[in-house]
Amino acid sequence: MASTVPYVLHGEVWALIAGAIGLGWYAARVIQPRAVALGYPAITRKQKVFYSTAVVSMWAVSDYPVHDVAENYLYFVHMIQHMFLSMIIPAMFVLATPRWLLELVIPQGSRVWRTLRTLSKPIWALVIFNALTITLHFPATVDISARSGAIHFLVHLMVFSAGLLMWMPVIGPITEWQIHPLGKCMYLFGMSIVPTVPSGFLVFAEGLVYDHYADAPLRIWGLTVLTDQTAAGIVMKLGGGFFLWSVIVVIFARWVSSETAKDRTARQERARIAQEPLTYETVTERFATSPAPAEQ
């Protein structure tokens, strides 16, 4: 595929990746020792792996040849690129961010902090992410962004930022901003519904939706415009849906496991108490630790 697409040097992508690498190095080598000295936890190995994987993935989907194919030749590759930029890569960056680092970059109580708190609430994150998803699939929006590198870069920045907000109520570093596990499952289920609209439109459209891809200088892999369009809809529905539903299954399984463990511990404690001999000291201790009766 790459041999058929003219090579283009994307300097902005290399600058972005170099900046991400520099920020990661500075956080780990300069800021972290000071944070640990103040009693904050060190960056874990898992967080480092998430960050490194996120940076490499961002480079892979934003540089040649994926970017060029997605922008000018195949819309289904464009959909794969957006799935990574809007869901997968933001999730890895969120998981890689220690709480103390976020609080250092955005001080608590500041206007930016309050704005982030508001936009990270489930209803706002859901509305922003899905409204952007719908808007970016209008034919006019796709054609304009595909023909302008600056607008395309801005679109990717918006998609990535919306993805960060999307994951804050689920796996964000500020744990008190996260919602209940069952709430997370319902929230992610809502996230998986809206993309069904544009994906269904692409799959079942009888004619051409995006004129830009009909003007491609060559048909890679021999795919027709309509076949590419249908594949894009399938990627949008099944790819994004499979990823979100996989997360839902993991969250639900962990919640059930946690609740089962709590119930088992409670039963064991009740059984232990029932087996203890009833003595004056035991009764006195139980009365001392039990809450006072409510006044009538």
Asked whether the predicted pLDDT for residue 3 surpasses 60, the reply is no
Comparing 7 with 52, the larger pLDDT belongs to 52
Comparing 196 with 3, the larger pLDDT belongs to 196
Asked whether the predicted pLDDT for residue 1 surpasses 60, the reply is no
Q: What is the mean pLDDT of residues 143-156?
A: 82
Q: What is the pLDDT of residue 71?
A: 86
The band of 188, judged by pLDDT with boundaries at 50, 70 and 90, is very high
Mean pLDDT for the chain?
A: 87
Q: What is the pLDDT of residue 287?
A: 67
Q: What is the pLDDT of residue 213?
A: 83
pLDDT tens readout for residues 192-235: 888 777 777 787 777 788 888 887 777 888 888 888 888 988 88
Q: What is the pLDDT of residue 176?
A: 94
* Contact call for residues 100 and 40 (beta carbons, < 8 A): yes
Asked whether the predicted pLDDT for residue 45 surpasses 80, the reply is yes
The band of 189, judged by pLDDT with boundaries at 50, 70 and 90, is very high
The band of 291, judged by pLDDT with boundaries at 50, 70 and 90, is low
Q: What is the pLDDT of residue 283?
A: 64
Asked whether the predicted pLDDT for residue 151 surpasses 90, the reply is no
* Contact call for residues 104 and 176 (beta carbons, < 8 A): no
The band of 2, judged by pLDDT with boundaries at 50, 70 and 90, is low
* Contact call for residues 184 and 178 (beta carbons, < 8 A): yes
The band of 295, judged by pLDDT with boundaries at 50, 70 and 90, is low
Residue 257 CA from chain centroid, whole number: 24
Query: What share of the chain in percent tops pLDDT 70?
Result: 92
**Range scoring the smallest mean pLDDT among 60-74, 118-132, 271-285:** 271-285
The band of 281, judged by pLDDT with boundaries at 50, 70 and 90, is low
Asked whether the predicted pLDDT for residue 296 surpasses 60, the reply is no
Q: What is the pLDDT of residue 203?
A: 79
Q: What is the pLDDT of residue 293?
A: 61
Residue by residue, DSSP assigns the chain as -GGGS-----HHHHHHHHHHHHHHHHIIIIIHHHHHHTTPPPPPHHHHHHHHHHHHHHHHHHSTTHHHHHHHT-HHHHHHHHHIIIIIHHHHHHHH--HHHHHHHS-TTSHHHHHHHHHTSHHHHHHHHHHHHHHTTSHHHHHHHHH-HHHHHHHHHHHHHHHHHHHHHHH-S-GGGSPPHHHHHHHHHHHHHTTHHHHHHHHH-SS-S-HHHHT-SS-GGG--HHHHHHHHHHIIIIIHHHHHHHHHHHHHHHHHHHHHHHHHHHHHHHHHHHHS---HHHHHHHHHHSPPPPP-
The band of 290, judged by pLDDT with boundaries at 50, 70 and 90, is low
Comparing 36 with 209, the larger pLDDT belongs to 36
